[in-house]
Structure 1
Amino acid sequence: MAISAADVKKLRELTNAPMMACKKALDDADGDLDKAADLVRERTGAKMDARASERTASDGLVYTYAHTPTPGVPPKVGVMLQLSSETDFVAKNEKFQQLAHQLALHIAAMKPLVVREDQVDEEMVAKEREFARKEALEQGKPEHIVDKIVDGKVAKVYKEWVLLNQPFVMDDDRTVAEVISETQAILGEKIEVARFARFEVGN
């Protein structure tokens, strides 16, 4: 089928991919915009991930969310999230803003403590290691598997405390990091959670 310039422009705005990449994806997807967007993500994702570490996400937005489970009842949980991108163009994109909303919902529900592993307090991790080792030895576990047990406990701690390591609340087959990476591939820019704050009445 014939692909119009308007279709190519729309896919370009959605994915920020090169025009020719958008045209080819639309041709291959028989004009289906959603399928074409998936093709662009698949074809450019690896390249985007490789370049992302070299880029600076100096733009973006601050997103706020107040959880109101019951109409008329004041919210008890709130989240403020800074989601960064490379340009204001992507920060205005609907998919980027949708990601910010989903991440805020996730943070409200899953209560992460930090964004990345390197932000975890090493003293807290050391205490968790010490406790896990002592527990394993007291249970009579063989010495040669104690280290594996301890490593498993620490990995679980990171999974609970670190936002990027957590299973995504809307699809626990993917981590938060994977969800961000997928959106990053579609939009063609580095995307990162710069920081967040979670507030809860009574805590």
Structure 2
Amino acid sequence: MAADRQTGPDVLGTLAGSRVLPVIVLDDPAAADPLAGALLAGGLRAVEVTFRTAAAAEAIRVMAGHDDLLVGAGTVLRADQVDEALAAGARFVVSPGFGPAVVRRCQELGVPVFPGVSSATDIQAALDAGIEVVKFFPAEQLGGVAMIKALAAPFRSVRFIPTGGVNTGNLADYLAQPAVLAVGGTWMVAPDLLAAGRWDEVTRLTAEAVATASCTSGR
């Protein structure tokens, strides 16, 4: 395992401090730099750039150039994407489900990985792999806060990053749960805002989310 990639504590500490993780889908890498500036201006220090478009790796590279921004790669489905993400500067990996090949590659390279879970069986698989921080996806469709409470009862060491359907209306409810490390969301980086270059609005929505997070305590 590569010792220079042992960034787990820094990653977890930053996510626990921010508590809000924008989930970004970028079609144009030229938007990555102003977007990073807008998010930083709103008070966030961590982002997830998804591998849903061909611009992902370049967007990660640009955003990772901001020393005060922790950049991770999302929607990582294959082991080769782990290598591509890390080469671009990603410091953590998120996947929508539990993929053994992705998890193994991340662990080989010493990079924190947060696999997606949707059931107790998935969580057990994550624990068997030595992982205690997982993405809960798609959160609202799976039962939202009530489901997290139910799963957290037997899996007391697990921390969740619920993503999918989280918005300004339910953000505080999620963050109030002791088992929630952070939440993933798209409302502050909605496609229409990015396409129009509405960076002031991104900053405003981000600042609102940060303010909500600062007033809501979990564990």
TM-score, structure 1 as length reference:
0.21
Q: Choose between structure 1 and 2 for higher RCO, CA contacts under 8 A separated by at least 6 residues.
A: 1
TM-score, structure 2 as length reference:
0.20
Structure having the larger proportion of residues in helix: 1
**Which has more radius of gyration?**
1
